[in-house]
Amino acid sequence: MENIKDKIEELRSLIRYHSNRYYNDDAPEIEDYEYDMLMRELKTLEEKYPEFDSPDSPTKKVGGKADNSFASVVHNVRMESLQDAFSKEELFDFERRVNEVVANPKYCVEPKIDGLSVSLEYENGVFVRGSTRGDGDVGEDVSGNLRVIHNIPLLLNKALPYIEVRGEVYMPKKSFERVVDRQLINGEKPFKNPRNAAAGSLRQKDSSVAASRGLDIFVFNVQQVEGAELHSHKESLDFLAELGFNTIPGYKLVDTIDGAVAEIDKIGESRGSLEFDIDGAVIKVDDFAMRAELGSTSKFPKWAVAFKYPPEEKQTRLIDIEIAVGRTGVLTPTAVLEPVHLAGTTVSRATLHNQDFINEKGIAIGDIVTVRKAGDIIPEVLCVNEHNSDSCYEFPKTCPSCGAPVVREQDEAAIRCINPDCPAQLLRNLIHFCSRDAMDIEGLGPAIIETFVDKGLITKTEDIYTLTFEQIEQAQLEGFKEKSINNIVNSISKSKDNDLGKLLFALGIRHIGAKAAKLLAEKFKSMQAVSTATKEQILEIDGFGDIMAESVVDFFSNPKSLELINNLESCGVNMSSNSVVIDNRFDGKTFVLTGTLERFKRSEASAIIESFGGKTSSSVSKKTDYVLAGAEAGSKLDKANALGITVISEAEFAEMIK
């Protein structure tokens, strides 16, 4: 029995870890199906050995917990999760349990969207608050990020005194592909799947980031309502559509469980062609009076069940392995497969991650492999079924693009080309260099940069600053008229005056983001000083660790990097920090700006604070000294008051900077 107890505790610990990675970190490490199987094994053991039951078991809890970086929201109506079913037999068991309590129920069947569950609240038809599910009882206020989702109405078609609805925020597949492409261009770790991407986007501090991600929503439930009387689920969905909500698509009312099962099969067959990700289908008792009779367990409603589709797997032959070179020089392997139909689409390519993954699976060209779509989106190789060789595939020793030797740095899985002139890295480096947080060259977006590279107008980064009106005009590019060419040339010229911090970020130094680049510029003031700084000097910067400091030193020890900087300087690009400290009245003080400022732009207020030796931060913590609060300040103001941090108005700020 001691072994059983240990097994139960081991499962609980493992599930808590993966639950935290999924719900709170938005960084799942295992597939949903694997997580579901762990939960099912634990539940089976707890039912068989009730003496080891525990009130804090993961089987008794819903979802994640509220993130303390957002204001907490207590749900007046609990946001329950659903009982899962993995076989048709379990659906018939659900019907049997329902029929023991109520007679002749009708069922509403709908797809189960794979996203992040949220509550939306309206008073007199006006959107007043939106929150995440959290643990079902307490969620987090994410109203600002929900307001920017196009399909969330801010004003309903009917001014009900109050209504709370529940929906699922998701990222459409096309939006997910765009976001991942952008992350790869910027050398960032891409989101694992659309659900992970939606959750990460909804928890952004800056709502403009959420707005840029192309999020969407389907509303599927009325939590509570004043001013309307609803008697069934289908009636409520029809009513929600009349109010202006984007309701769950394809819901259907059926008379029997057989009809529900047939509808689930139909949804399953169509999921590969849908523009959004689903991980199952839901059967709900339609009549609200029957639901009240059926009630709920401590975690699930007894009137609903979610059928989870198993991940589809197929065997096929791996006919080749292609190596691509990313912006940061990382070599990424892709399996070229004999085409196979999988989860509604034809799959001919799959990710192989890195050399360690290939070694672990024993993968070689010619093998028969099992392929699965991770999260029903990204194809991946699961295992080798038949080996074609006694040895694994080995990465090339030289870069397939430029022929330079590749290296694998200590404690890294990635194999990398470190030649800054590598052609495969050029396009992505240029796109990063011109991006908003870098040199911010308006008009030089990814498509135009690619055109300029194809036409030979740009062959290396410094060529941007030697581009002339005549060169662009003579290339006779479609859509490039006098005005548009002048705009690009003027924008390039304007970028020469950017602060050193933007240039340092634009150079694409590994591990150095926009904020770290700004700190480098403020510390050393000139490119010359940064380029000759020692690791020890760089480590003096608050927030810099060994890896970041070593990365800066390594970058400037490369002759190619110094050649690029010299060429940029010769073109007139500013190599100094423009930040000037007027006096040190805010020395050591940290400010957080929140709400709508009327007298200052946020960028102006931040610049003023920094000119007096202070710092700005995006989040409130015990280390915050002042919160400058404008109109409609939200969760940051609440947190500042809770922590006893000094809150100042714009008028008080104006007095402080006199």
Structure token digits, residue 190: 């891409």
* 157 to 168, 224, 228, 433: CA distances (angstroms): 21, 17, 14, 46
| 3-state class (DSSP) for residue 199 | helix
What does residue 438 show for φ and ψ, rounded to 5 degrees? -95, -120
Which residue in 106, 112, 502, 518 is the catalytic one? 112
Amino acid present at 298: S
Where are any strands of DSSP class E within 3-115? 72-74, 84-85, 107-113
Counts for the chain of helices (H) and strands (E), in that order: 24, 22
What stretches of 49-164 show up as alpha helix (H) in DSSP? Answer: 88-99, 143-147
Q: Residues 6 or more apart from 95 whose CB is under 8 A from it?
A: 257
Q: Residues 6 or more apart from 484 whose CB is under 8 A from it?
A: 443
- B/e letters for 621-654, b = 16+ CB within 10 Å, e = fewer, are eeebebbbbbeebbbbbbbbeeeebebeebeebe
Strands 107-113 and 162-170, bridge-based pairing: unpaired
**Nearest by Cα to 81 from 225, 261, 230, 296:** 296
Is there a catalytic annotation at residue 112?
Answer: yes
Give dist(CA 385, CA 361) in Å, integer: 10
What stretches of 335-436 show up as alpha helix (H) in DSSP? Answer: 355-361, 423-434
What stretches of 203-244 show up as alpha helix (H) in DSSP? Answer: 207-212, 233-243
Beta bridge partners of 384: 369
Q: In the sheet that 216-226 helps form, which strands lie side by side, from edge to edge?
A: 126-132, 116-123, 162-170, 216-226
Give dist(CA 100, CA 92) in Å, integer: 13
Please tell me what DSSP assigns to residue 653: H
What does residue 312 show for φ and ψ, rounded to 5 degrees? -80, 135
Give dist(CA 213, CA 84) in Å, integer: 30
- B/e letters for 332-355, b = 16+ CB within 10 Å, e = fewer, are bbbbebeebebbeeebeebebbbb
Give dist(CA 338, CA 371) in Å, integer: 11
Among all chains, which residue has been given the structure tokens 């009708």?
A: 106
What stretches of 203-295 show up as alpha helix (H) in DSSP? Answer: 207-212, 233-243, 257-270, 288-294
Q: Active-site positions?
A: 112
